[in-house]
A and B are shown apart, each in its own frame.
Chain A
Amino acid sequence: MGIVMNMSRRTALLGVAGVAGVAGMAAVASNNSSDAALAAVPTDEPGQLPALREKVNLVAPPFVHPHQQAANRPPVIKEFKLTVEEKKIVIDDDGTTMQAMTYNGSIPGPLMVVHQGDYIELTLVNPDTNTMAHNIDFHAATGALGGAEFTLVNPGEQAVLRFKATRPGVFVYHCAPGGPMIPWHVVSGMSGAVMILPRDGLKDGAGKPLRYDRIFYIGENEFYIPRDEKGKFKSYDSLGDSYADTEQAMRGLIPSHVVFNGKVGALTGKNAMTARVGETVLIVHSQANRDTRPHLIGGHGDYVWEQGKFSNAPATNLETWFVRGGSAGAALYTFRQPGIYAYVNHNLIEAALLGATAHFKVEGTWNDDLMIQVQPPGPIAKTARGS
């Protein structure tokens, strides 16, 4: 592995020239359809790293750091920093604990937002208070296992990775240290997402601009907490102690918890998300491991990028959409009625019993035309025919 990394690093340093060669060839290509596809992928001028850098301060989910929807300047290098934090957390109201592995202390890790053509430069820090090696695989990146090959850091180490945001969309990132460690780190909480916006912002299928007033990032995770002989969830003093039992539970493929934002009820009550009637909300939803089917109870997906990629026209008027495990999706909705909405994984067992429910609290004026309670519940009327 060390040899591969050295070669890759050298290639990376030379890489600009290498890439230039490939791009140049694509430009004079024949009618071969795969070359046409290559040419369709936007490439900046070879060898031209943006001059501008911008440091971005990440924000804990479900909120997202401030950003432009349509880029108002040429591509930049956006600098991000993620610090790995291993910690014991409480994941439900029974006090069930989990030895978690997190980016920046949150499950999911924070959403990073850039524009197509920008570069993401990530500093990954693994403090020596941690016990495990970690890395990061960006599904948006190209090569080296998404960057995992270049970023494996032991406790006490850091690494810096830069990749070009070539494809617009929402993409998962997750830890992938190798072999069985990969699923274990992911189901212990180590995933997040990036959003690469088209430079002129989101558009519908006809090219009409779509803008959001608020954005929420909802990371869905499933956990596999081991149980003792009596069926009670077990608790562990360290990550290492928890591995054997957890791996066993994982093999059953049935999670004990399916949660949004790292804990049952994390986005309800005082932490319910808020909006106003007339506001348009973008909900980015990632699931790094397992399929899910988001649904906004009382609402819809006005425009949904179900597969999460903005080069595809969004589907419209969806009731429930599908986010395949290992991906992120994005849904745009303009609230039309006030009240409480539940945003769920519409396997209702997972929503109600395993934790996959969030709430939106929306203020505004009710629209009687869209819905009206003609008659509130009351005694059954007796008909004239006496039936």
Chain B
Amino acid sequence: MNAPYPGEIDRRLLNERSVSGRIGLQLQELDVPEQALPEPGLLRTDEARLPEVSQQEVVRYFTTLSTMNFSIDANFYPLGSCTMKYNPKVNEEMAFLPGMAGIHPHQPDETVQGALQLIWELQRDLGEITGLPGVCLGPLAGAQGEYSGLMIARAYFEERGDIGRIVALMPDSAHGTNPASASMAGLEVVTLPSDSEGNVDVEALKALADERTCVFMLTLPSTLGLFEPNILEITNIIHEAGGLVYADGANLNALLGIVKLGDLGFDIAHSNLHKTFSTPHGGGGPGAGPVLVSETLAPFLPTPVVSRDGHTYRLDAPDKSVGRVNGFHGSFGVLVRAYAYVRAIGAEGMREVSENAIINANYIRTALSDEFGIAADRACMHECVFSPQAQKAKGATALDISKRLIDYGIHPPTMYFPLIVPEALMVEPTETETKDTLDRFIAVMRQINKEISSDPDLLHDAPHDTPNTRLDEASAARKPYLRWQPEQNLTASD
């Protein structure tokens, strides 16, 4: 063992703590007579080298690890496009009710009426909020909802014999999943430029929309946090060309009770329940990415959806369903949380959510745009994108500013996205933050701006007090070290 030092965190892996003979759980004894074993050739010859640790060691290990995370519960987390809002605790309790967490996906419909009713109600509520009444809650994440939506578009055109529609148009500010999902759906990705205001270039769109257009994929508000002022003209251009309009609902937190996607001419959308509807991100999933469509497209929804007949609910396959995109009925545990959120917020509260998200973002934009430069100098929706090029000229990159924020206990904004904004820092405060928190963030950003001139190394070396300083990601990628191996030691310098 190396000499201990103050502040040291014991980072040893479980297997490096393992002592032969220790157990973490007393399992029950076999209560039936022992049965004959299968032929030895079928049996495992080696043993899985899982750890042998006591129960307290497990608890302490994971508790210690947890303290090395920033989280919404402990930190301001203005990560743009991710909607890191408060995740209500009661939702967790509801998801873990035995009657919700304990039910088996193959149980007959008549034994899970409560669960099916919850799904049905949430389908209806999301349809109402977005103005897209055809809803399948099955997709397990935004990207899967997106892929489902594109399959629906393809199936719709195929049914009409309009098979030449193989292009997915999207702005250059699109999330990476848009082109990735379009490519999975066999579509050719054609990117169109944004104008100087960060809006869709309408003339360019007119030139590109034609009989090959399957969908136009648009994030609304855009990844610059802006509402597209020409939206009705845009959806009209695509419809005139015979195509469908897809809404990436990542930024739906700006639109609750403010405007319905369906009213604007969108045909298909997905919504990330782990963003707008407050379900926890969990360190990178699980999410849920319901797909929402117009009445016309509803028969193509994935399987299953829940339908109602009188007071009876059942799992159903839509007539022309594009099929199954995952094992069962979706991230049900996530759906319970989202349902609890919708019920706690109610009709009036929806609009209040988005209004406060918009006010909070504009408050930050107004306070900091002088010093940090803003990608588009006009009212934003729920997030704003700074472009600190003046700071870069002085030697402080968006990365440096982000890492320095960590020293102040604030999670960095989304960096270097959207790709069209140099040194992008995308800030999304959400409606659940207090004005005090926003004021402190503004003060910290100004302080950091001063440090760039007074003591730039404070930024270059940041963060300082985290369990790790900046990590060597280049070495990690050059010589990937992806699992515990018995012969390797913890201390790299050994």
A and B associate in one complex: no
State the A residues within 8 Å of B (CB): none
